[in-house]
């Protein structure tokens, strides 16, 4: 019997690199999946690629910064599956790169809307389901950027500091109800988001920026989406039954130099 047989996991940002990698591994371990993304066609393609039958998967479109759309994806999941065992609160955007005086206000607001409000709304509507059940595991996607300051990234860093704060607060609120809340904090991961950050950081030499980012990691390389997925899945699983309010860095040792 696989670890996730009979379990229902919701993943937001499910068409992105980390979301897709996590969905694949969970599907292989028997989970039923509610996959949420702004791009409905992309998330439907994930389900097709995984070969999941309708009984084990649902594709849901949502802009996570819109409260009513978050409530809808939670309601649709419960309607189809009757429960939510795990929630990978993963959707996020990177914004742009600029010093604070030049940082566009509209982009700052957009980053906080998705990364902070989106995470908050997910917690707001999934937590009552899990409290009623008397169990559940939530994993928020924070970032190494939520633990340090990075010049030029006032939007993204601020948003991920907020996600870490929410993780710590909500974990304490729900612990008496048998619900666990943790976060993964990826470093530089080989995904579309990092491709954009490389371009934003050094527009004339994105490849050079990539080499510099990788060289700054003690392990000397980017991480892969699968490596973040492995940690998220551990936290979602019963193997982590006594783990809550923890922030797991997945960064090749970079944050702890």
**Strands annotated E in the chain:** 8-12, 32-37, 57-61, 86-89, 136-141, 179-186, 247-250
Q: Is 96 helix (H, G, I), strand (E, B) or coil?
A: coil
- Say what the pLDDT of residue 146 is: 94
Least confident of 11-20, 189-198, 230-239: 189-198
CA distances from 138 to 11, 121, 177 (A): 10, 13, 13
DSSP-derived secondary structure letter, 139? E
* CA 137 – CA 128 distance, rounded (Å): 12
The pair phi, psi for residue 92, each rounded to 5°, is: -170, 160
Q: Which of 73, 125, 135, 156 is catalytic?
A: 156
- Say what the pLDDT of residue 57 is: 98
Q: Does the annotation count 73 as an active-site position?
A: no
- Closest to 88 measured CA to CA, from 242, 256, 233: 233
C-alpha dihedral sign at 166, 252, 235, 178: negative
* In the block, residue with structure tokens 């999946």: 33
- Say what the pLDDT of residue 1 is: 65
* In the block, residue with structure tokens 């950050």: 197
C-alpha dihedral sign at 224, 228, 233, 234: positive
User: What residue ranges do the domains of the chain occupy?
Assistant: 8-187+223-250
pLDDT tens readout for residues 97-132: 999 999 999 999 999 999 999 999 999 999 999 999
* CA 77 – CA 72 distance, rounded (Å): 9
Domain 8-187+223-250 is in which class? alpha beta
pLDDT tens readout for residues 164-211: 999 999 999 999 999 999 999 998 888 888 788 888 887 888 888 888
Q: Strand pairing partners for 12?
A: 36
DSSP-derived secondary structure letter, 189? B
Q: Report how many helices (DSSP H) and strands (DSSP E) the chain contains, helices first.
A: 9, 7
Higher pLDDT, 158 or 220: 158
Q: Is 133 helix (H, G, I), strand (E, B) or coil?
A: helix
Quick one: pLDDT band at residue 257, thresholds 50, 70, 90? low
């Amino acid at each position: 019997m696989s670890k996730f047989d009979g379990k229902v996991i919701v993943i937001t940002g499910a068409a992105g690199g980390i979301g897709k990698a996590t969905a694949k591994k969970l599907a292989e371990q028997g989970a039923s999946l509610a996959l949420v993304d702004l791009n409905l066609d992309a998330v439907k393609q994930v389900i097709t690629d995984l070969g999941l039958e309708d009984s084990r998967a649902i594709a849901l479109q949502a802009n996570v910064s819109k409260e009513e759309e978050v409530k809808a994806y939670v309601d649709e999941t419960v309607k189809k599956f009757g429960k939510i065992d795990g929630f990978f609160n993963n959707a996020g955007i990177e914004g742009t790169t600029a010093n604070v005086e030049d940082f566009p206000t509209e982009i700052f607001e957009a980053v906080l809307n998705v990364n902070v409000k989106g995470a908050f709304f997910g917690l707001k509507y999934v937590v009552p389901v899990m409290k009623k059940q008397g169990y559940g595991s939530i994993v928020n996607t924070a970032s190494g950027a939520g633990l340090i300051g990075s010049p030029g990234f006032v939007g993204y860093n601020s948003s991920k500091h907020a996600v870490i704060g929410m993780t710590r607060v909500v974990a304490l609120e729900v612990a008496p109800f048998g619900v666990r809340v943790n976060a993964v904090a990826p470093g530089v991961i080989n995904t579309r988001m990092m491709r954009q950050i490389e371009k934003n950081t050094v527009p004339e030499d994105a490849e050079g920026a990539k080499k510099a980012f990788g060289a700054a990691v003690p392990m000397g390389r980017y991480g892969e989406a699968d490596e973040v997925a492995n940690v998220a899945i551990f936290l979602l699983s019963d193997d982590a039954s006594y783990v809550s309010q923890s922030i797991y860095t997945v960064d090749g040792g970079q944050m702890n130099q």
